[in-house]
Structure 1
Amino acid sequence: MEKEFNPKIAVAISLQQHSYKTAEALEQNGMLYKYYTTVFYDKESIIYRLLKRYLNSDLTKRMQGKYSAIFSAKVSKYYEFLGLLFLFVIRKDHSRIILPKIKGIMNILFGVKIAKECIKHNIDVVIMYDTLAYYSFKKLKNSSAKTKRVLDMASVSAPHIRDILLRELESETSFKDSLQLSLKQYSRKLCLKYEKEIQLADYFLVACTFAKKTLIELGVKDKQIYYLPLGAEVDKFLPIKKKESLNKTKLKFLFVGRVEAAKGIFYLLNAFKELINYDIELDVVGAIKCNSADLEIYGINVNFLGNKRKEEMPAIYTDADVYILSSLWEGFSLSLFEALSSGLPVIATDCSCAPDVLTELEEGFTISSANITELKEKIVWFVNNKEKIPEMGLKSRELAKRYTWEKYSENLTEIIKSIVIED
């Protein structure tokens, strides 16, 4: 008789990221023991009732979104006040002075607590997230616990990000204040800790091969790394619209993300500035995270639309013709898949999941990051080949349909089984 497979798997995160989907997948496959976090919405809780009374409607929706009925019975919350304080400050501390201090305290307290829980309950596998797992992994490593430590890489390795930022600071690009602000999150001291966090992990989950490459550069062995692409919520975005008027209007390109140097905004905006004589325009959706004065010279064929609510985004994607992901680094870009789901061909940099998923000339193009020349070439290609956009858009939507959360759940289950039985 086959031995029953019933491991104790915990997901632990002081913030959120895509951890809900991970926990939901494990619960649906009968493997979730606990979901440890700081903030998880409870409508019966006094603190959430008070917050609902004083928060505006947008923040209330965000707060209520930190909930999943699928695994709610298995949630354990610790240091909830610190978690709520962090979520409040992240929207107010634009200079990023207070936020790192709160995050640092929360990570220490929460991390040590999770390690104790894993030891107490004989957890087989704990899944935590990069830059948030150091204190848990360190305590578990120094104990006699047999808990296997899995680091889910939401992005690429922090030391690699630091290298990119330093390279950009030495270049002739503008938006230096934005780069300096990002560098605060990836200081030399922090990156040394994050590198130790990687060394303390037994296994890694990566959503793109670019992230895998940055781990191998740090000495991680190939057999420790599991490729696990995330899912796309295709049904939340509008079907592709017909493009009968493409030859009669300006070709509209779209960028979605924080307006900062890390997102390659310098290269994107200057590409459009140099293509001012073409009948094109760029819609930029996202919070301004750089000096707004630096943006004034880009207003002729660029529209800065600011932040938009989630419910507004389907219409914005549908109104565009081509999507551009210009980031200097990305993990599994959800905005890229929102665009694909909306039936848009894309231009995306190679330091993302794009090389893993896109087929050249089918759904769009992959280009080198920080390369204005390549970006301009692909923009002009779409201008000269408008008639190909509708068919490419159809292929984009079909591609997005292959990346479902159901498939993510299946893949995660097989990975966990492999990790549990690994000697």
Structure 2
Amino acid sequence: MPSLLLTHPAGNQNVRAVLAATEEAGLLARFATTVAAFEGDAPSRMLPGALRREWLRRRFDIAPAKVITHPAREMARMLAAKAGWRGAVRHEAGFASPDAVFQDFDRFVAGRLPALAREQGMAAVYAYEDSALHTFRAARALGLKCIYDLPIAYWETGRRLMQEEAERLPEWAASLGGGVTDSEEKLARKTEELALADLVVAPSSFVLDSLPASATRVRRVLAPFGSPASRVVDEGSFEVPDGTRPLRVLFVGSMGQRKGLADLFAAMRLLAGQPIELVVLGSMQESPEFYRRQCEGFRHEKGRPHGEVLALMRSCDVFCLPSIVEGRALVTQEAMSQGLPIVITANTGGADLVVEGETGFLVPIRAPEKIAEKLAWFSQNRRELPAMKAAAMRHAAGYTWKHYGELVVHAIRELI
């Protein structure tokens, strides 16, 4: 059977889903990553509790013999981040910056590919944005198919939207992230990665629609991410929120305008005096004083283990994420799985998660007044919340990681 090399420099939930699906389908030849942990290996036996848990976050449920690692640069990044060595991890420039890790890993995989292709009889490589260029070049030279996983909107769309935000809200410009300041060299790499691809895997229609006209020849597959497993309950399991307490609206994400936080803050200013509380869980990109000037009364929650994040979600009433650019914000499905109806933009990549008036509402980007209108509706129609909470849970449960993996595997088989 034709086989596949799957590569990713770190590993996350969607990578693990592709890994499991290709292994189950008998397609996986090898998985290449930077750092891989295995239950019972030396670090997991020797490291103390907190460090051991951190190490095991890089665990992959696959035979160690199938895993190829290239750990040095990523270990340097992890150490520099822990030690606070900002220069070492500075965007693009640092020796241990994420971009440097990705490029170093990409070159390593490309160097190993000719021997792997001969040994395994491989037909294709599967790589992710920013770590695919050298791998795809080597694959093309060997006559292998190139599968490109694009987890966020294509750079041209993202950059345009972020530049527009920097002009619209200059005080938030520094919070927009690296996409606005990416070098021309990095953008050229992204462009060539897509040009070399035979198949693009995308988690949302928003990502697919962001592809340029030059990519019309490339095959595409839409594979929405899965939701966390949860017990779906009926509306009788939820109480109508007490009208004597504020409606709790939750935002989760990096506290910048790529996530639309400025627009949510503006909506809260429009709602001043109404019984609505905004809870923000995320890392600050600016000083606390900056955020308080934007929205004085919000409640900030620091990062915490995933189980505690889910518990915080259950303590809230509505989830709001008015993002400007995403791929598919997994946090939306996490919130729905805990019984939160949603107010989101299509640019979150989750337009299909909204059944209007049942699981939540879709709002335009850059529309604080529309956000305010929907949040006010929830506050004024609290009796609707139990049914909407149950509907959100049911709808989110329809998206599984198994189905995600099956969609990817089907597209790979059609390609090779």
Among 62, 65, 68, the alignment partner of 1:76 is 68
Q: Is the 8 A contact 1:13 1:128 kept in 2?
A: yes
User: 1:407: how far off?
Assistant: 1.3
Distance 1:239 1:192 in 2: 50
User: 1:147: how far off?
Assistant: 1.2
TM-score scaled by length of structure 1 = 0.88
Within a 5 Å distance, the mapping from 1:187-206 to structure 2 comes to 187-206=183-202
Matched, 1:315 2:337: no
Distance 2:152 2:177 in 1: 19
Among 158, 178, 190, the alignment partner of 1:161 is 158
Query: How has the CA–CA distance of structure 1 residues 330 and 94 changed in structure 2, closer, same or farther, with 3 Å as cutoff?
Result: farther
Within a 5 Å distance, the mapping from 1:100-119 to structure 2 comes to 100=92, 101=94, 102=96, 103-119=98-114
Matched, 1:171 2:164: no
Q: Is the 8 A contact 1:159 1:194 kept in 2?
A: no
Distance 2:28 2:63 in 1: 8
Report the AA paired with residue 225 of structure 1. R
Report the AA paired with residue 137 of structure 1. F
Distance 2:234 2:280 in 1: 22
Distance 1:126 1:65 in 2: 25
SS in 1 for 2:278: strand
Q: Is the 8 A contact 1:39 1:77 kept in 2?
A: yes
Distance 1:309 1:218 in 2: 42
Matched, 1:61 2:53: yes
Report the AA paired with residue 128 of structure 1. A
| Percentage identity across paired residues of the two chains | 21
Within a 5 Å distance, the mapping from 1:19-418 to structure 2 comes to 19-42=15-38, 52-53=47-48, 57=50, 60-78=52-70, 80-90=71-81, 92=84, 98=90, 100=92, 101=94, 102=96, 103-122=98-117, 123-141=122-140, 143=141, 145-179=142-176, 183-184=180-181, 186-215=182-211, 217-221=212-216, 224-235=219-230, 242-298=238-294, 300-418=296-414
Report the AA paired with residue 23 of structure 1. L
User: 1:173: how far off?
Assistant: 4.6
Query: How has the CA–CA distance of structure 1 residues 49 and 174 changed in structure 2, closer, same or farther, with 3 Å as cutoff?
Result: farther
Distance 1:104 1:245 in 2: 46
Report the AA paired with residue 153 of structure 2. V
SS in 2 for 1:33: strand
The farther-off stretch of 327-336 and 100-109 is 100-109
Q: Is the 8 A contact 1:90 1:99 kept in 2?
A: no
Report the AA paired with residue 318 of structure 1. R
Query: How has the CA–CA distance of structure 1 residues 237 and 187 changed in structure 2, closer, same or farther, with 3 Å as cutoff?
Result: farther
Q: Is the 8 A contact 2:319 2:343 kept in 1?
A: yes
Query: How has the CA–CA distance of structure 1 residues 365 and 221 changed in structure 2, closer, same or farther, with 3 Å as cutoff?
Result: same
Q: Is the 8 A contact 1:174 1:266 kept in 2?
A: no
SS in 2 for 1:175: helix
Aligned length: 406
Distance 1:365 1:218 in 2: 31
Distance 1:316 1:238 in 2: 18
Q: Is the 8 A contact 2:38 2:64 kept in 1?
A: no
Q: Is the 8 A contact 2:248 2:277 kept in 1?
A: yes
SS in 1 for 2:230: helix
User: 1:365: how far off?
Assistant: 1.0
Query: How has the CA–CA distance of structure 1 residues 252 and 107 changed in structure 2, closer, same or farther, with 3 Å as cutoff?
Result: closer
TM-score scaled by length of structure 2 = 0.90
User: 1:71: how far off?
Assistant: 4.5
Q: Is the 8 A contact 1:232 1:334 kept in 2?
A: yes
Q: Is the 8 A contact 2:203 2:223 kept in 1?
A: yes
SS in 1 for 2:146: strand
Give CA-to-partner distance per residue, 1:335-383, whole Å, 9 cap, x none: 0000110111100111122222322112111111222122111111212
SS in 2 for 1:253: strand
Map of 1:3 onto structure 2: none
